[in-house]
Amino acid sequence: MNASASAPATAGIDFDAVIVGAGVAGLYQLYRLRELGLKVRSIDAASEVGGTWYWNCYPGARVDSQSYIYQYWFSQDLINEWNWSERFPGQGEAEKYFNFVADKLDLRKDITFNTRVTGADWLEDQQCWAVSTDKGETLRCRFLISCTGMLSAPMVPPFPGHEKFKGIIAHTARYPRAGIDLKGKRVGVVGTGATAIQVIQTIAKNVAELKVFQRTPQYAVPMRNPKYNDEDRAHWRAKASELYQRVNSTFAGFDFDLDHGSWYDKTPAQRLAILEEIWADGSLSFWVGSFPEVLTDEQVNAEVSEFVRKKIRARIKDPAVAEKLIPRSYGFGTYRVPLETGYYDVYNQPNVELVDVSQAPIEAFTENGLKTAAGEYPLDVIILATGFDAGTGSLTQMNIHGRSGRSLTEEWRQDIRSTLGLQVNGFPNLFTIAGPLAPSTAFCNMTTCLQQQVDWVTDTIRYLREHHQTVIEPTVARQDAWVKHHDEIANATLLVRTKSWYTGANIKGKPIRLLSYIGGAAKYRQICDEVKTKGYPGFALA
Ligand code: NA7
């Protein structure tokens, strides 16, 4: 650390940096900036650390990345001391991990909990941000770093009658920390996305009746989740540095890759053998560890989709129910692939009913349950697994105003633009970790891409200090070039044809654009590194 890097915040400025969020990215960002000698304050609306793993405490919540790559890499002590109990840990264990990290690094002393950022204004004359909170505080800081996660603004469907319902309504991302007693209850789950699948397969056996309100079925892949013993943990620990290299060099930040070669170089028998092999792996390798053409080539996608449809059909006893559970309106992998454990088998239980709301939509909450165009369903508890305003939601709700009062909310209401998903023209010194148009918005093992972005932001702030500069902002030309590059890659894939949160299609009025950069996490890292090593071309430094 050089002398300038340890300098205290300038007069009139309370903090060098304010970090919003104390989850996967926020905790690491706090650590890195503190290491740099900066005066930092983190703010989180939750009462504890953990971000996603704090809020999403619904029944069955589980990490879909393998535990041995769902961790921080920078400290061998952390790697040595933490014991993952299984391949895909549950929410409780993931939350404990982030608490363990916060304790170990003594991070809590710089975090203000139970506090929501309600506004941020760029003060031109002082070249800093004024960040206001719901506790009435205003903090002035040089850098504002949002680590709010790409899925943290819950989407609650606007069914009328919320107040009429006599039972309990809970969105999965705001599920009561103490849980809800579902035993013997009539429960309705709205949605069949990755979250709903985890809820449904977990609660189906304990409730009296389960009604699943499905609008669009999913291509879910079975999860293989062995428990780990000391020997397994020792195995993964010994491989830590190799894994770190590996996850940073793959398409989606996992330790597997699209490295089976071209689909077209294989015979039908070879293709089938590979598909069966990666299916048996029981992880997201069936999706982002298969053939590169799956996401771009209609013919290949159709064949892989059919492979999955057969697997689903074989699990359901009632052929009519099976047909409803089989997706046909979009191709495999063009929307987040969920992992499942016993999900399809649930529909063979007598207490579970699949309610198809694709033709007869949900109209309202009633006193006793939910009303669809086809009739009323009496319920005691309604679980909304209806997703998020992804990528942009947490930022557009923060009331951010940049140069000349430019509103980020207004601009993104027209068109979602960013530079590398990390900065936005007109909003100097605002860094948007997991912001739109980066792989961390959706197409990455989150811990890989979030750590990469945090490292980039840290290096950028260090660079500014070493060069006696205080402000960085992408130029319009650089931003246009990034958006163009992003769109070219996105539009060459099949993902843009599927209506989902990936393109913002789940939020009424949201501009449509693939939210996640899909050129690959490794390529993205290279681009970010190049920007850094070349001295930030296309960014105005002052
Ligand atoms: P998703 O994937 O956005 O799923 C939301 C689900 O809710 C999906 O099945 C929606 O159906 C359904 N939904 C939303 N609104 C309605 C209405 N009005 N009526 C019926 N059904 C509705 O969110 P998740 O939380 O499951 O997953 C988000 C990410 O978290 C996931 O991708 C992982 O990365 C972790 P639709 O498909 O829109 O027809």
**For residue range 57-102, what is the model confidence (pLDDT) as tens digits?**
999 999 999 999 999 999 999 999 999 999 999 999 999 999 999 9
For residues 47 and 542, give the distance between their C-alpha atoms in angstroms, rounded to a whole number: 37
Our mutation pick for probing the ligand 1 site, out of 150, 151, 195, counting the most ligand atoms within 8 A of Cβ, is 195
Residue 1 pLDDT? 31
Assess whether the C-beta atom of 452 lies below 6 angstroms from ligand 1. no
Assess whether the C-beta atom of 250 lies below 6 angstroms from ligand 1. no
Residues 426, 403: contact at Cβ < 8 Å? yes
DSSP string, 18-47: EEE--SHHHHHHHHHHHHTT--EEEE-SSS
Residue 6: pLDDT band by 50, 70, 90 thresholds?
A: very low
For residues 435 and 212, give the distance between their C-alpha atoms in angstroms, rounded to a whole number: 32
Nearest to 340 by CA among 518, 235, 201, 155: 201
- Residue-wise pLDDT for 194-232, tens only, equals 999 999 999 999 999 999 999 999 999 999 999 999 999
2 pLDDT more than 50: no
Assess whether the C-beta atom of 196 lies below 6 angstroms from ligand 1. yes
For residues 119 and 385, give the distance between their C-alpha atoms in angstroms, rounded to a whole number: 28
Q: Tell how strand 15-20 and strand 111-112 pair up.
A: unpaired
Distance of CA 381 to the CA centre of its chain: 26
- Residue-wise pLDDT for 115-162, tens only, equals 999 999 999 999 999 999 999 999 999 999 999 999 999 999 999 999
- Look up the CATH number of domain 3-152+389-541: 3.50.50.60
What percent of the chain is predicted at pLDDT more than 90? 97
**Whole-number Cα distances in Å, 114 to 18, 21, 42, 80, 272:** 15, 11, 11, 32, 52
Assess whether the C-beta atom of 194 lies below 6 angstroms from ligand 1. yes
Q: Which residue has the tokens 């197409």?
A: 443
Question: Among the atoms of ligand 1, which is closest to the Cα of residue 192?
Answer: 9
370 pLDDT more than 90: yes
Question: Among the atoms of ligand 1, which is closest to the Cα of residue 442?
Answer: 34
168 burial class (0-12, 13-18, 19+ CB within 10 angstroms)? Answer: middle
Q: State mean pLDDT over 351-373.
A: 98
Nearest to 454 by CA among 515, 526, 531, 525: 525
Backbone angles phi, psi at 67, to 5 degrees: -55, -35
Assess whether the C-beta atom of 39 lies below 6 angstroms from ligand 1. no
**Protein residue with least CA distance to atom 15, ligand 1:** 386
Tokens of 369: 């349950």
Quote the mean pLDDT of the chain: 96
Assess whether the C-beta atom of 385 lies below 6 angstroms from ligand 1. yes
- Residue-wise pLDDT for 184-196, tens only, equals 999 999 999 999 9
Q: State mean pLDDT over 311-320.
A: 97
Q: Which residue has the tokens 């191709």?
A: 331
Residue 441: pLDDT band by 50, 70, 90 thresholds?
A: confident
Residue 12 pLDDT? 83
Our mutation pick for probing the ligand 1 site, out of 340, 386, 503, counting the most ligand atoms within 8 A of Cβ, is 386
Assess whether the C-beta atom of 61 lies below 6 angstroms from ligand 1. no
CA dihedral angle for residue 296, residue 302, residue 306, residue 308, rounded to 10 degrees: 10
Assess whether the C-beta atom of 19 lies below 6 angstroms from ligand 1. no
Provide the sign of the torsion angle of the four alpha carbons 436, 441, 443, 445, taken in this order. positive
